[in-house]
Structure 1
């Protein structure tokens, strides 16, 4: 029997480890099912703020992962979410390399559908990338993608809570003209970079010479072009352009299968991965520091945000 957190969640197996904590498979002893759980160490207010933001982002949509509940014990906090057994799109890239246009179209369309709901709720995700796109188990059928990890997401109209000269995101997926304040169009840029990664099998930055000269390839290059006004301006517009670039047709099962990544003894292991590129294969959310400064106060806003959202999160915990 594994360690039991807060008298309810039995820690079974680690899924991923990060600087802030770890993601585990857990057994919910109250409800009797298996969930995923993010276990955070409360080292400082920044990590706690990320936890609160993610817990408070409850957007119910078929292509968005919604937090389920949370608990605290000693110096740790834990929140649960559905366990998506198909792994991540990043894992799929590691197994198969570049994907077919049919696959890229499906992943991007579903990601953009999720972003439509996120942006309609007034939230900017700020960290769209293959590692944050999780998959349901669908075998060789049509994939089902869910956008996850809202730890750095913010309301579009909320004052910045980070340092004055810091921008948050994953290098390579951040728009070169990204500003300090959250903008939904930055999520669209990151989605287009993700599409190029899926299409070519190569991590950013991308060389246009390796992008297929197809309508989809040209659309993705336009969506990451230097002219911000020429890029898609909304998730809905991007979906429409995608539908025009890749005409709808019946799903054609290929060699790619989305299998249960957590089943004991998988029957059909994936093919060997393609040769690694010389670039570092890690994708980590990072900060970009600049020489610009802003005199707006930060910590009073943090304290007020913590107090307000903790009150809401506490109510959700009592109801769970």
Structure 2
């Protein structure tokens, strides 16, 4: 059996590792289900700040991955989320290279739909990138993406206790203004990052790694349909005033390209597949949890009761109560 944290989450096997810690598959004893659990490596101030911010986000939307819960024990904390089996957009691009225009338009539209809801809640994600776009394992069918990792999300137009004196976001996806110390969060920075992510999906690598010209000419050389290229270029305009005003406006322009897949019925399969990236359960684990736990809970296995003789003790107690009751009845009569 694995280590149990907080008396609830039993660590089963590691699923991945990132800058903030290791992501485990864990068995939730309270809900009787598997979850993904991110375990923080150390309780330093920066890690705890990311943890608190991510836990504070409770946005219900089909394209937003919302944390489920958290526990703290000794010098470690973990928070849990649903297991998303298809890996990330970064994984998909790594497997297939540049994606077909229909795939990119559909994934971009879903990402913008998530940003629509996030921005409506007064938040800016500030770290939209392929690694934070997680995919259900839909095979060659209509893809389904979920925006994750709200560790550096920030509210718009709220007083700041401290002034940010460093760049925020991931270089290559962060908007130019986000790389300046002291910038105020603006939803249009998320639109820029979504556009750069779309460009990477189209090209198979980060645009800044292409070389030999600007993004517009690079998209032309990659034979990207001009309507879709136009949306990507408007999203990634250097000046935020030249970008779409909001995610809804960007979605409307994207819809006009006719490339967005909206249902399985109209989805045209391509030579792209979102594989199941989650490994099989390790030995000793099944769909209902640990085999050892199941054996312990099943009296038919012969070792289901951790306290042998307990059943006999209960039986003796019942007999004793009956004898007392009989004695009282005799005394009253």
TM tier relative to shorter chain: 0.7 to 0.9
2:241 counterpart of 1:229:
yes
Matching residue of 1:278: none
**CA distance 1:131–1:160, change in 2 (3 Å):** farther
Measure how far apart 1:22 and its partner are: 1.5
1:201 to 182, 199, 204: 204
Tell whether 2:109 aligns with 1:109: yes
In structure 1, the residue matched to 2:289 is none
In structure 2, relative to structure 1, the CA distance for the partners of 1:167 and 1:227 (3 Å cut) is: closer
Taking a change above 3 Å as real, the CA distance of residues 136 and 226 of structure 1, as seen in their structure-2 partners, is same
CA distance in 1, matches of 2:43, 2:232: 40
Q: Paired residue for 2:273, among 247, 257, 271?
A: 257
2:139 maps to 139
CA distance in 2, matches of 1:42, 1:158: 29
Residue 259 of structure 1, CA deviation: 2.3
Q: Secondary structure at the match of 1:259?
A: coil
C-alpha spacing 1:133/1:4, structure 2 compared with 1 (3 Å):
same
Contact 1:159 1:181 in 2 (8 A): no
Contact 2:20 2:40 in 1 (8 A): yes
Q: Distance in 1 between matches of 2:94 and 2:277?
A: 13
Q: Which runs of 5+ in 2 are unaligned?
A: 282-333
Shift of 1:24: 1.2
Deviation at 1:160, TM superposition (A): 4.5
Shift in alpha-carbon separation, 1:161–1:22, aligned structure 2, 3 A: farther
Q: What secondary structure sits across from 2:185 in the alignment? A: coil
Tell me by how many angstroms 1:163 deviates. Answer: 5.8
For 2:260 and 2:74, the matched residues in 1 are separated by 53
Distance 1:12 1:162, change over 3 A: farther
Residues 175 and 238 in structure 2, CA contact (< 8 A), matched pair in contact too: no
CA RMSD of aligned residues (A): 1.8
Taking a change above 3 Å as real, the CA distance of residues 248 and 90 of structure 1, as seen in their structure-2 partners, is closer
Gaps of 5+ in 1: 266-320
**Equivalence for 2:11:** 11
Q: Secondary structure at the match of 1:53?
A: helix
Q: 2:253 aligns with which of 231, 241, 247?
A: 241
Matches of 2:186 and 2:149 in 1, distance apart?
A: 18
Question: Structure 1: how far apart are the matches of 2:76 and 2:159?
Answer: 27
Deviation per residue, 1:89-114 (Å, 9 max, x gap): 11001100110011001100000001
- Worse overlay, 253-262 or 201-210: 201-210
3-state SS of 2:245 partner: coil
Return the offset for 1:227: 3.7
What's 1:305 paired with?
none
Structure with greater Cα Rg: 2
1:99-154 deviation per Cα after TM superposition (whole angstroms, max 9, x unaligned): 00110011000000011110000111000000000011211110011000000001
Deviation string for 1:40-89 (max 9, x for gaps)?
A: 13432221111011001000000000111110100111111110011111
Q: Secondary structure at the match of 1:31?
A: coil
TM-score normalised over the length of structure 2: 0.75
Equivalent-residue separation in structure 1 for 2:31 and 2:4 (angstroms): 14
Find the aligned partners of 1:227 and 1:43 in 2 and give their Cα distance. 38
Spell out, residue by residue over 1:251-286, the C-alpha distance to the aligned partner (whole angstroms, 9 max, x if none). 101121122211439xxxxxxxxxxxxxxxxxxxxx
